[in-house]
Structure 1
Amino acid sequence: MTVAPAPSTETLHALFTALPMALVVYDADHRLVLSNDATFAWHGLDPRIAPPGTPFPEIVRILAWAGGYGPGDPETLARAVLSVDRTRATSRLLRIGGDRTVLLESRPLSSGGFFTCAADVTTLVRAEAEASGRARQLESVLSRLHGGVALFDQDMRLGLYNPAYEALIGLPPASIRPGHTQWEVIDLLVKRGEIAADEGALISARMEGDRHRAATRQRQRPGGEVLRFETQPMPDGGCLIEVDDITALKRAEDDARRRAAMLDGVLAALPHGICVFGPDRRVSLFNEAHARIMAGSAVRLGESLEELVARRVAEGEFTPAQADSVLARQFARDGVDSRPVLHQRPNGTVIEARTARLPDGGHISVITDVTALQKAEGESRARAAMLDGILSALPHGVCVYGPDRRVKMLNAAYERIMQGAPVRVGDLIDDLAASRVAAGEFSAEHAARTLARKFVRSSDGWDEMLRRRPNGTVISIRDAMLPDGGHISVVTDVTAQHRAEDEARSHAATLEAMMGTIRHGIIMYDRDRRVVATNAKTSALTGMPAELLVPGRLMDDLIDEQVMRGQITPDGAVRMKAIDRSVPQRYSRARPDGRVIDIASDPTPDGGYVITYSDVTDDRRIRVELEKSRAAAEAGSLAKSRFLATMSHELRTPLNAVIGFSGALVGERNPARIEDYSRAINDAGRQLLLLIDDILDVARSQSGMLPMARLPVALAPLLQGAAQAVADSAIQAGLSLAVSVPKGLPDLVGDAARLHQVLMNLLSNAVKFTPQGGRIRLSAALTDGGLQIQVADTGIGIAKEDRDRVFEPFTQVDASLSRRFQGSGLGLYLARTLAESMGGTLSLEDPAEDAEGAPGIAAVLRFPAACLVAPAPPPDSISA
């Protein structure tokens, strides 16, 4: 084995010096051992500036001040370099000199030293930046492509795709990602319902086969969009798939096929013969009509024009002169031969031929069998002569002007009607207008308007006007444009008709005024149930717009329209359509707005009928109000009877006590009993006084003489005082009484005594109607609308349908003499009356809280903010 001799020191030094990078070796004491020229030459320094043995920090500072570590403070850069741990391998990129990039690496040596290596990687960094830029451009282009692009590798895994690919194949954004296989993508499509499972398997098999060759396929999405998939094999064994939405193209192709089929059908159905010659002057297409019209000398596909003409000369169809004319005309350079050529065939038929150049250099020949037309023209000439006779006999005046605005023709009736304004053939219409202005026939302004209107084509072809001549006759003038640019003027003497129409209009106006002033709606129908006439009041009474109540409308249509507008029900419409209108009918109908309409139907002698509508709402309302007044009177009488019965019952109890205990006092000598009897008599007397006071307050409230103070009332003390007044009664009844009054309640403008009376009535009712163990709560609070005071209990409650009734005077839910709860029935009535007199309201509502499930009731007093002295913020509640 031969071993190559070790290179000499000079060789190693030369190699070290020639390296295209800066290389520096340091010993264990961090002193320079070896460096090549590039270390300092890169920075414009003499390589001898740092001889071997130079300390590492000194070399670092030399390079930092020379810009070897990039821009910045040299000392700061040097300290950063010196702080690097040289016992570990490090690597970093530096930008020096503004446009150069250096890769600086440090590697430890086994001897304890280390070496640094700096390589110029500017070109590499620039190449990487350019590659990144191109990659970003590619991604930007792909993201903006309307078509979808997907790249699969040799294992059919997705490597690259754009957003359009996901959207076109029917997947939401971010559904797929690089690394997905084609089977996973197809499985996502199956799950979203874009394709069926068996179709997905078929697509997978096709993609597997198509990746080795170029292929194009189409697929229709469930929404109807048509996609085109183009597969291109890639060198690595994968494939590139491009997806385009060709829905519009597919539809255009289908439309083109439909149009081609339609064109074939049109050509087959046309009565005109069509023959197309190609640029080579040979027949390329003709239709059945051409063969039929030219029966006996039909064209043949592929036959040249010259051959065809020669054959027809031989068959006697053309003369040689006609043949030369056909050949010269068929390929004329002016594009279209607008002059139709008439030709009479040997069999007697007459054909009209036209030719036109085609864009491809060929030409088309169109022939029409005009035999019947020629015959008709002969007949037309005969009719024209007949028309001249008719015009002469017409009672209407006819004057025809040519495109040059001169009179071409007029009949005798025109001259007779326009007597005094002569017209001659050849007169210029402008001269005629000037002469008529001079004769006082009409004004210059009228002449100008007439001339401006004469030669203008109107929408319906005719322009009509009436004019009263100076001699008193009225003429109707109808003008119309003629196809040649002239116009025709027809005048009729309508003096008698105009006079009759004036009389008819006057009579109609009188009738319309009469119809418009009556307060009833009227519609007249003919025997076919169609509207003949109506008045304006009908629209207001039936709820039908006036534009629908027009002559000619069927009654059944109007009824259906009223059903659609909610004026009558479908069942009511069926009944109305079935009414026999040949006999008088009377019925009523209530409109959705509450009005009541009385309807009368009466037949007319001609088989039609007239329907009259009358608003009887006020009559019905007066009847209802009278009925309500009668019921109220009866209710008042009943209330008085109930009041007398109740009062006799309520008065008897304390009077019995007064009489009984006062009788017991006679002869009683026991002081204790005398005191008890006297107290009982006093309590009964006070009860009688309270009852009488309530009766007096009811009387004052009904007469409007109830006294009411309007002074600030401190609410908290008042509420606490009312609660204290019924506290003993609540305790004796086994009830709990709670008071919740927030701090800072504003004063209420009202009558303190009356408000106390209201609260006492409400609290007394709560104590009376709450079973033992129940709860009563008196609370007050500020709301958005003002002040709310509530007395809530867990008592027997009041049904919702009875809550308004209990506010009537002398009323209890149980009004019998054997009722369970005693009382006059005036408490709630007085409470509401007093509350309303102070500007508030009182209502009975369901309690907000009901922990024990008892029915309960809440009496709620509400006073608006205007009744409060000053607003206050919602405070914390205190309970008592």
Structure 2
Amino acid sequence: MALSDSCDRHPNGTAPSDRQRSEEALRRSEARYRALVEASSQAVWSWSPQEANGDFEGTMRWWADVTGQSVEEQGRTGTAWLDVVHPDDRAAAGTAWGTAIATGTPYEVEYRVRGREGGWRYIKARGVPIPGPGGPPREWVGTLNDVTDQRRAEAERRESEDRFRGLMEQAPFSVQVFSPDGRTLGVNRAWEELWGLTLDQLTDYNLLADPQLEIKGIAPFLRRAVAGEAVLIPAIRYDVDETLPGRTRNAEPHRWVSAVAYPLKDPAGRVREVVLVHQDITARKRAEDELARLTAESERLRRLYETVLSSTPDFVYVFSLGHRVLYANDALVRMWGCDPIGKTFLEIGYEPWHAEMHGREIDRVRATKQPIRGEVPFTGTGGRRIYDYIFVPVLGADGEVEAVAGTTRDVTDRKRHEESLRHSEELLRLATDAAELGVWVWDVAEDRVTWENDRPYAIFGLDPASGPVNAARFLAEFVHPEDAGAFGRAVADAARSGDRFYFEGRLRRPDGEVRWVEFTGRPVRTAAGEHLRMHGTAADVTERKRAEEALRASEAEFRATFEGAGVGKAQADPLTGRLTRVNPKLCELLGYTAGELVGMTIRDLTHPDERADSDARFRALVAGAVGEYAVEKRYLRKGGEAVWVRVTATIVRAPDGAPVLASAIIEDVTARTQAEAALKEADRKKDEFIALLAHELRNPLAPIRNGLQVIRLSQDRAARERSQAMMDRQLAHMVRLIDDLLDVSRITRNKMELRRARVELAEVLGSAVETARPALDAAGHELIVSLPPRPVHLDADLTRLSQVFSNLLANSAKYTPRGGRVWLSAGRSGAGVEVTVRDTGIGIPADALPTIFDMFSQVDRSIERSTGGLGIGLALVKGLVEMHGGTVTAASDGPGRGSAFVVTLPVRTDAAAPGPAHGHPPQNSAPGRRVLVVDDNRDGADSLAEALRLLGHEVATAHDGLEAVAQAERFRPDVVLMDIGMPKLNGLDATRRIREQPWGREMTVVALTGWGQESDRERTRAAGCDAHLVKPVNLPDLLRVLAEVAK
């Protein structure tokens, strides 16, 4: 129904009536309604069954804009709008409208219409009936919406999702989609292949609660992704069996992966799900590990080859097939005078013809795979030289040439020699005559010396008709007796080595005149290396020798300065002290090049603390106050490091006494100076050690002596027993002290052997605590022990390893003020176990920590004097721990802050059977045995004999090896306690003699000696001893031996 847009007014302009006001309000409402409809993107319509048309005017214009169907075309019939509806949707659209009218129910349908610009557009039509008074609907109202853009967006989204799902499924990398609460929503085939799992196996798995990801630091990255951030996740090694044991079908459950996580959000910006993309980098990690190993090996070989190639004077190089330098050794780089790597011959400085020649040769080697040799001149940093070279192919794995290598040797001298030889053949006669040289040839096979010109006759005073001589006659008749030996050795050395023969000495002519003659020669060998002959010259140098005497002083100075080996040499201007000449050894010593040193002054090189003294000495030398001086001082190397040198300086003067040249020999005495300092330190430590050892040995001796006095004077049995117990303790202390010294000695000389077995850490620490408990209790300390809940097994010597921890506990007891605390704790650490002994003691100064494990190291002298000790306990601890393949470190926050010692040991992981139980040996003996005690220490022998008699044994004694054999024959003992080191005959030989006798073969011989190393035990066994006891003998050990004899 159309709304009227007119308004009746009162004819006389009077105030409107109520009806007029209602109509005015209705018109305004209708106007607002139409404006709202026209401003919207949809069409609003109304239709009444009682009217031919409804309010379709605005709708028809909208329809025309959308479809291009004009208003006139729409108005032809009531169903004209169906003409532009898609044929497939036309019937459904018409039926839906007819059904709604017929049933009076709401109307809603979507169909496609032909668009104004072509193509099809989606229209959504809605309508609702407005009921009439008690009857059918009196009116219908509704909307038409163009939903084309919405439908296209939905289609594009579906297409995008389909593409994403297809891409995810076909992607070569692993994809896992999970919800913000950690549930896995989907995985692709690559993920299933990577981990050997299916989505169905993850129903009870929560990605955000995976403990393995938490431990390895990945969980925070996932939480960031859930929060809406795209994150790059670092690589980890993930083990499926660790989190989901027994589920993977893969043979290898652990893989190296890196990942990227990015969130997918809804239109409101909330994270709907997170996509986790894995990249399997296991093969890459393995390749990287292998590459690292190969790189390290390659680097090691490179350094080895570089060292070898850098030490040869020949040139070694490698060229690419493009004629560029890939490698050149140091000698070649120095000759070229530039960095050649990557350069061509032209770029290095070769002349074009030379560069082209080598380029052709490299190409030829590549084509033929055969070496090429040549000889060519070249001007390098050493001037123009002649070089002999060879190019060889470097073949790759496929057999093809991948590079060309070669070596070059400087043959300038050889070529010059050859050239000189050719000239000498022409000029030999003139040269020898002019030089008054005699030429000779010695035929070795025939032992005949012939003269090749007339000069030898004049030199040796021979008659030309005398003919050749042999070597023996020449040596006996012509060479001065005092020089004959040297002459013969020079000839023999040259013949043997093939080197140049040279001798300068005196000859005795037949007329008795003595002349100085210089012989030179060169051996000639056969192809087999046999000495064939020697060619040489002889020159009368008598006049030259006389002239040399006059020049000897000045030449000696030059030779001493620059021809001596192994020392630095320098010459300086005596007026300025500036260096004018230096030798390579001095450059090596100070780290400068010769060019850098020349021009520097002696003062520049001298340590600042010694410059004043150096200046004074040099001035005195130049002034002639001293002829020379030698002083040890410090020079400064190029980097500022001080080096100790011995400088011997002299002045070379003109005939008028004016100083011409300052000359010095500089010897590096740093090593000697350091050795002297180390020797002094060692000597100081030795003196301290001897003093400490004397102190430590006297400490127990005093109470032992006092105890003897008590036993001698007291009749009180309890007092005597207390004294005896005290003496036993002091003696045990001395034995432990000596045993520690011997143990340290064995370790430093690699003589200690461990008796390894599979033992529990708890057993080791229990034994250590048992040993240290008396000292801890005596000091009133609280010991707190913390051990791992599960057994930890070690491959160790129980006794020695217990000794480590008992020493550490004893140290804590000793260096902790009374009533302190000591902690003993252990815990697994990687593939090993860490055991820590910590206390509340006096602590360790920071400067003492680096040397705390050194032999005889004393942290605090005053403390050491009050507590005793040689400073060997920690050295013994370190040696024993390292023998077990472990490490020990010390830490302290300083004096008064306590200290901690951490021992790290490898853990034994195999399931070997436990080692034998450690029990105590039987300590019973069988009285009534016949025992022979042999010891050159009479007090020792007699006191042991008396103790054995008190136990009911029959005892005899002997005090040397010979007496032992005789006494054994007379006494026929059951047991011989044999000392080893004795006069006349040692214990080993005495044992052998006893064993050789029929009566001595069944005797039990026990070595009783101060030597306790394994090698000593092997010697006593080899000599025939049945057992080996170390002095001072422990009575239970001796009783055990006697008990075994009784059995």
- TM (norm. structure 1) is 0.38
- TM (norm. structure 2) is 0.33
Greater Rg over alpha carbons, structure: 1
Greater relative contact order (Cα 8 A, min sep 6): structure 1 or 2? 1
